[in-house]
A and B are shown apart, each in its own frame.
Chain A
Amino acid sequence: MSEVDMAVIKPEMMKSYIWLQTADGSIQQVEQEVAMFCPMICHEIIQKGMGSSKNYAISLPQRVSPAMLSLILDYCRFHQVPGRSNKERKSFDEKFIRMDTKRLCELTSAADSLQLKPLVDLTSRALARIIEGKTPEEIREIFHLPDDLTEEEKLEPLKNTTDDPRIRLLNRLYAKKRKELKERQKQKNIEVEEERVDERSVDDLLSFINGENADSKGVATSKNKKKNRRRKDPQKSTSIDHATESPKKGSNGLGCLGTGGDNESHSTLSETSKLQDVEDDIFYHKVELDDVDIDDEIDPALKEEIDREVEDFARRLNSDWPERMQELLSLGQEKSPVHFSINGNGSLRKHQRDRWLRSEVTESMLLGGDEQMSKNEIQW
């Protein structure tokens, strides 16, 4: 828009009005100098000669609703006055963007479609401030966004080009934990079933473990809380703060560890996880606590299954590397679920399990306060 054009228009139409039509069909008049502040409207007036009458009202983009239009026009009305100081403008802006997040989004979008750059900058910055420092979950809540990343995507396959089996194993472990935690979170809402005793047969459990969906409800085992058996590891005190709800819960966690873990392990054999969510720290803290709780509340059949897994992990974590390499490589090839075996050596396994859990604690300690799991620091 050139000054010449402005000079030509102004003398003819002193306080002239422009007609604007929003997507819903409603038409309104706006003072010309206010409307001209929007480049898009300006363009329509100058280049296409629109807006001079009701019949030739300028059609605004669909992203501009009447409510947003009125906000935008308020903004234009203030800023198009040349005589204002920077301080005044800034002060107006600060007050102007004080609105709920939804309206802010709409406003950003509307301003963008009208190419009103200063307002787009202002609102964009405000929105940036809103999302600053938030976790994905919080952002989803604020903006009502769908949680539509698949489980795989959330695990974020780490493109493990060296095919390091250590990382694969580690990721399987963490994937298992994640799944376990998710199941547990679902369980939190189901208070009623807490007291239900699991009376399924061994076969049922086996088939469940071997392939069906890890339905948390199905795995609900007896949740008699034996709090006196719960080990209060002093290091975990911080994690207990985080996982405020889980002490009340109970058993299905490790149950899922067996099941969900297997399912996960198959799918994550070729995947690795990108675990940089701050959330993960919390997850792992929670998992720690729950592991301790549920030692004695699981169905013995599942328990054995879990014990075997724990044994495996403990062995891997503590044995020499070449041995482990071989194991891992062979494990990588084996696609069938973990074998179900009953073993009477409970006390030894408990010790091993404790050791394993303790090493888990170390892991979570390292994770605490970090943005991402630190694979390099875990002692193999």
Chain B
Amino acid sequence: MVRSEELNQCFEKLMMAGGGIDISKKMGGVVITEWKDIPMELLLRIVSLVDDHRTIIMASEVCSGWREAICLGLTHLCLSWCKNSMNNLVISLAPKLRNLQSLVLRQDKPQLEDIAVETIARHCHDLQDLDLSKSFKLTDRSLYALAHGCPNLIKLNISGCTSFSDDGIEYLAGFCRKLKILNLCGCVGAATNLALQAIGRNCNQLQSLNLGWCENVGDIGVMSLAYGCPELRTLNLCGCVSITDDSVIALAYRCPHLTSLGLYYCRNITDRAMYSLVHSRVKKNKPSTSMWESIKARKGEEGLKSLNISQCTALTPSAVQALCDCFPALHTCSGRHSLVMSGCLNLTSVHCACAVEAHRTLTYVPHHHAH
């Protein structure tokens, strides 16, 4: 017993001294003396803990063991640090990273081309989260490729991709039906009523949609969206200047989970829209609704938490105050500014409940000090 222990120790020393990978194998025992003996999951974990994903690329160049581990196991990758050659890097990496789930390719300088996205679509079928923002060079070809190759997409960010058209979006929507988060901010050509109708038809699990500065968005599109996507929680219509009250009314009644709405610069919005939001909420809490629904209304669905009506100059204080009273999560106080009304000079009298409370407390203080 003792002798074998001694022998073991001798061998161990040999291994440590000589970096003898082979010796440890011959031993049959798996004593960790080398990094390479660390299990793949652990290695992956360590590699993915780095802040700068450039290191992940470097790590895949270290040795075959590392390369295998990374190629098999890497699920999240960000290549936004690439200044010039993201396109080639993606073409090279995508075929190897078959299990990729999340890929961030946001660029400061547009480098990505259709072929890169096609490569991704050809190999990374498990992709759930893709950020292609600011890829000015991409065309609908990319969208067609993604439609076929990445049907499991849940989160897609193509903000700033100005070369897309609504045909591409329509096509994509038909295949990527699991989409929950979609960012089309600035995609003027892509975000049209046609595209929104397609989204409303197909992407019924959609929870968050950003249509900022998409001036071709009209009531028909938003209404289709409201009818088709009852799970909608966040909708950004800032800069969608064609929108009228009809859109907001449809959203108010069809999207009970709506918590964040952006109507910045939607000049056509009037008090009618505000009152519809109030009414839809009140309707939920009425005794005529089933008990379960009213419990749900009180507990889970807290209603609007964030609303931007800046530059909606047609609104009057009474309507907006009614809104503020109805949704306690909307604040005008400095700490939690969730009701944004910049540029609406006639709405300065609107206050949230806590702003009023603070005002009241302040006026009491002088009376108390005399004691």
List the interface of chain A (C-beta within 8 A of B): 23-26, 62-63, 65, 102, 105-106, 108-110, 112, 120, 124-125, 127-128, 131-136, 139-140, 143-149, 153-154, 156, 158-162, 274, 276-278, 366, 370-377
A134 touching B58, Cβ below 8 Å: yes
Further pairs besides A143-B34, A145-B34, A374-B88: 9, Cβ < 8 Å: A106-B33, A109-B37, A133-B52, A136-B61, A145-B62, A148-B63, A159-B119, A371-B57, A374-B85
Query: In the docked arrangement, what's the CA distance between A207 and B93, Å?
Result: 38
Query: In the docked arrangement, what's the CA distance between A135 and B54, Å?
Result: 10
Q: Which of B21, B30, B50, B52 has the most CB of A within 10 A?
A: B50
Instruction: Indicate if B326 sits at the interface (CB-CB under 8 A).
Output: no
Instruction: Indicate if B35 sits at the interface (CB-CB under 8 A).
Output: yes
Contact of B82 among A102, A105, A366, A372 (CB under 8 A): A372
Residues of B within 8 A of A377 (CB): 84
Residues of A within 8 A of B29 (CB): 23, 62
A145 touching B66, Cβ below 8 Å: yes
Residues of A within 8 A of B9 (CB): 24
25 interchain pairs (CB within 8 A)? A23-B31, A109-B39, A124-B42, A124-B46, A124-B49, A131-B46, A132-B51, A133-B55, A136-B62, A140-B62, A143-B34, A144-B34, A145-B36, A145-B62, A146-B36, A149-B64, A159-B91, A159-B95, A274-B88, A371-B54, A371-B82, A371-B85, A372-B88, A372-B89, A373-B85
Interface of chain B residues 25 through 75 with chain A (CB within 8 A)? 29-39, 42, 45-47, 49-52, 54-55, 57-59, 61-67
Q: A108-B42, A128-B46, A274-B92 are in contact. Are A139 and B59 (CB under 8 A)?
A: yes
Instruction: Indicate if B259 sits at the interface (CB-CB under 8 A).
Output: no
Q: Closest Cβ of chain B: how far from A370's Cβ, in Å? A: 5
Residues of A within 8 A of B31 (CB): 23, 62-63, 65
B contact residues, total (Cβ < 8 Å) = 53
Query: In the docked arrangement, what's the CA distance between A277 and B59, Å?
Result: 10
Q: A136-B61, A158-B88 are in contact. Are A146 and B21 (CB under 8 A)?
A: yes
Instruction: Indicate if B358 sits at the interface (CB-CB under 8 A).
Output: no
Which residue of B has the minimal Cβ distance to A134?
A: B58
A371 touching B89, Cβ below 8 Å: yes
A108 touching B52, Cβ below 8 Å: no
Q: A132-B51, A371-B81, A376-B87 are in contact. Are A109 and B62 (CB under 8 A)?
A: no
Secondary structure call for the A interface:
loop
Instruction: Indicate if B357 sits at the interface (CB-CB under 8 A).
Output: no
Q: Closest Cβ of chain B: how far from A327's Cβ, in Å? A: 23
Q: A110-B32, A161-B119 are in contact. Are A374 and B84 (CB under 8 A)?
A: yes
Instruction: Indicate if B344 sits at the interface (CB-CB under 8 A).
Output: no
Query: In the docked arrangement, what's the CA distance between A63 and B33, Å?
Result: 9
Residues of A within 8 A of B82 (CB): 371-372
Query: In the docked arrangement, what's the CA distance between A136 and B36, Å?
Result: 14
Residues of A within 8 A of B92 (CB): 156, 158-159, 274, 276
Q: Closest Cβ of chain B: how far from A124's Cβ, in Å? A: 5
Contact of A370 among B32, B35, B50, B84 (CB under 8 A): B84
Q: A24-B8, A108-B42, A136-B59 are in contact. Are A128 and B47 (CB under 8 A)?
A: yes
Instruction: Indicate if B362 sits at the interface (CB-CB under 8 A).
Output: no
Query: In the docked arrangement, what's the CA distance between A274 and B1, Å?
Result: 54
Instruction: Indicate if B353 sits at the interface (CB-CB under 8 A).
Output: no
Residues of A within 8 A of B38 (CB): 105, 108-109, 112
A147 touching B63, Cβ below 8 Å: yes
A106 touching B32, Cβ below 8 Å: yes
A109 touching B67, Cβ below 8 Å: no
Query: In the docked arrangement, what's the CA distance between A8 and B111, Å?
Result: 65
A370 touching B85, Cβ below 8 Å: yes
Which residue of B has the minimal Cβ distance to A277?
A: B61
Q: Which 4 A-B pairs have the closest CB atoms?
A: A128-B49, A136-B61, A274-B92, A372-B85
Q: Closest Cβ of chain B: how far from A33's Cβ, in Å? A: 27
Instruction: Indicate if B19 sits at the interface (CB-CB under 8 A).
Output: yes
Query: In the docked arrangement, what's the CA distance between A181 and B227, Å?
Result: 64
Which residue of B has the minimal Cβ distance to A372?
A: B85
Contact of A131 among B36, B55, B65 (CB under 8 A): B55
Which residue of B has the minimal Cβ distance to A109?
A: B32
